[in-house]
Structure 1
């Protein structure tokens, strides 16, 4: 019974950690300044927005990592719930 309780706790903690990471990354993305567009195109192609600043790229990666972290936590909680249900069915 204790194993299931600790699995629930670990799952909830992972979901919360992922949520915090997503919120922080989203705030960084929302507050990021966009690069200024160039006045003249280079070789006939506008280079404005061609590459994101490094910090924006890191924030986008952190956003995705947080998403996956929360999904893993949700799967952990679901699995712990299924195990607990099986244990209850077995004892009944």
Structure 2
């Protein structure tokens, strides 16, 4: 039973990490310009960046990636809690039998 709980916790943690990695990669790709700026043209100011994202079709994909990032974080935290709880229960069982 304990091995299954630890295994499930580690699997959940790994799944969360993979989700965070994928979402972070998607967010990083979304922040890259579609085409390189031409020579002599200044990049847009930081305050207009939000307006540019809102008008792009990729804005919805960016929002989905941000949600996936938070889901992955929560999933990883859940996996850690599961492993910690299994460790505590296993420790209690050893203390009871000793």
TM class, shorter-length: 0.7 to 0.9
Structure with higher RCO (Cα < 8 A, 6+ apart): 2
Q: What are the superposed Cα offsets for residues 20-76 of structure 1, whole Å, 9 maximum, x if unpaired? A: 0000000000000468xxxxxxxxxx8752437000000000000000000000000
Number of residue pairs matched?
Answer: 81
Query: Are residues 1:60 and 2:66 paired?
Result: yes
Match runs of 1:13-92 below 5 Å: 13-33=11-31, 49-50=50-51, 51=54, 53-92=59-98
> Which of these residues, 10, 14, 36, is aligned with residue 12 of structure 1?
10
TM normalised by structure 2 equals 0.75
User: After TM superposition, which residue ranges in structure 1, 4 or more long, deviate above 4 angstroms?
Assistant: none
Instruction: Give the root-mean-square deviation of aligned CA atoms.
Output: 2.0
TM normalised by structure 1 equals 0.80
Task: Give the unaligned 5+ runs of structure 2.
Answer: 34-46
The secondary structure found in structure 2 opposite 1:49 is: helix
